A and B are shown apart, each in its own frame.
Chain A
């Protein structure tokens, strides 16, 4: 009988089936002893990328730390949907203080643990893109600069979703939000230079920076585990679609995430001490239109007449990412 190699992905996806892997390589979520740290019953919308990302990230962090983990949470969707008290979803010690101070609160927790000789307990701070790239940016940069022993996870859904889809500094060009309406001669968000948080984090020279999407959850878990092997300031930026804010079907969260990566719009990589150390290659590069079309926030680009020049500008952003990070093997 001829030898046939096992394909570690299923048709149409790149998901590695757990049953095909050695036990130690299987995902944390496949483990019966997973902690369900963000437990079921919370109030996230159907198809919420943030809930999915947080569940995998925190359970992976719990697994990596022997269940000794404390989380500080910025105000935002994740905070609101997880704690309509007394129905908290958190099975771990968890604190929410304010919108803009999660990184600093985490610094305080880490300092307290150190002074009490409990450094085996680790600290995660988490927030959305608004709490990270805008209002919490000062505290985050301070935490990076001091190299405090905190892993900060940003769940980036590219706008202020909790307050009703307003623009943040992570909102991409042309995207419609409640404060960048799809009206006028240049509908949607402006073409600015953007605020590339992973690269800003890298510029601080911190030990570990990574990006991930909820399309590759095993990759997210691996990056959280890697981050937990390191002491000092670490940053993981997770791409999390928001069906409500982006206007896509709730069952398309994973597909949209994959398209963001496969078009080159969201580069997936790791960096240590300011240098890129690994890049998740694009298997088959797709045009950005494939990513934009399913989302109503970009609907104004595909009306009559279509705004092909705007799509071309977005394509140029993707192409630049591909070149910058070497996302496609020549």
Chain B
């Protein structure tokens, strides 16, 4: 059924179709509308076999999900930004225990300075936590990935994080195709846990493991993620047959056939990149796009195959590994068959900074010209940075950094562009 709805509402509807049994909610922008919609659905009686629990923190949200999942219930929560960091200990615990919880992360920057707008720093901070991480490009894909996430997680006994860009997707009203309950029921079997807390068959879960077996337990987590790499493409195909949409999978290529430069990115920015690429293609420039849908496990073989013909690779990242540069590009470099030096990092859109087609066209042209530096900060206000650095050179007590920069900048409120 086609509907013109907010991204958050679309995800809430998809989660509801997956028949969740325990939902734990703690508010944090820009995720809040998702759990609000689910809470409303439960309270109105639309989800009769579901407990909606308002908890006191994100740490508790993930902990309640852990308890519920270990007791055999299909558990869901959503968070973003600081919330994801606050629950980080429990995030690792959920994957360590092998509990197939599904969580939406409405991607948002991490403070300080506090910032509610979109980038990928939150999800990237948890990239090695053992969760499967899927990134949605559109609201339709966000909706579909949630349906796939429950099945994927429960098949492998691994938790799955569905990442969607905060505000850009969560708050955007777009047309989505909402599947029917019958379609989802046919695709997603009831949760059959591999381990469950049951008085009829008592088990201990979460025992201490020493050096004698810890490596093996961790290796199995890795092996399961490698197994996910094998399963995901087949399931995307199965999903396409059942729902008629080509969503999910490991990666998506766009106009890469003869591309000399390929741009790699995750999430909603792929739309802007594709528009830019279309315009450059019209001018005869051989450029293409590789979208990463599955970031963890890292689809190395698929990336390698997609990039095989490219002379240069531009990785556009909405997160910054401070002191290094790019997180995604570090992974791309190990998968790109050519020289690592041909893989360029472009840090863009931090804290919601708009990523424009003009700016993208400029860096892509530089990539063709061979003048793109290894690491670029898209649309960085150099003068502003220089002023801050000069102040620190001149004054010992130069004061708080962010506040000084805002004073230098003057009153522009939260100018996005």
A residues sitting closer than 8 Å to B (CB atoms) are 67-70, 72-73, 79-80, 83-85, 88, 90-98, 100-101, 104-116, 121, 138-139, 141-142, 145-146
Contacts and interface: CB of A to CB of B under 8 A. Distances in A.
Contacts of A110: 67
A114 B52 CA distance: 12
B208 interface: yes
Q: Chain B CB within 10 Å — which of A93, A98, A111, A116 has the most?
A: A111
Interface in B182-232: 197-199, 201-210
Nearest to B48: A115
A289 to B, nearest CB: 40
B352 interface: no
Given A84-B208, A115-B21, A107 B53 contact: yes
B54 A146 contact: yes
> For chain B, which range describes its interface: under 10, 10 to 19, 20 to 34, or 35 or more residues?
35 or more
A97 B93 contact: yes
B50 interface: yes
A90 B90 CA distance: 23
A70 B209 contact: no
Nearest to A148: B53
Contacts of B64: 104-105, 107-108, 111
Interface of B: 21-22, 24, 49-51, 53-57, 59-60, 63-73, 75, 89-90, 93, 97, 197-199, 201-210
Given A94-B205, A142-B57, 10 more contacts: A69-B199, A72-B67, A83-B206, A85-B208, A92-B202, A93-B197, A104-B60, A108-B63, A111-B51, A139-B56
B66 A101 contact: yes
B89 A98 contact: yes
A96 B57 contact: no
A108 B202 contact: no
B206 A116 contact: no
Nearest to B199: A68
A112 B56 contact: no
Contact of B63 (A68, A90, A98, A116): A98
5 contacts: A90-B202, A97-B66, A108-B73, A112-B75, A142-B56
Given A115-B21, A115-B22, A139 B60 contact: yes
Nearest to B75: A108
A79 B208 contact: yes
Contacts of B24: 108
A109 B65 contact: no
A90 B204 contact: yes
Given A116-B72, A142-B60, A108 B67 contact: yes
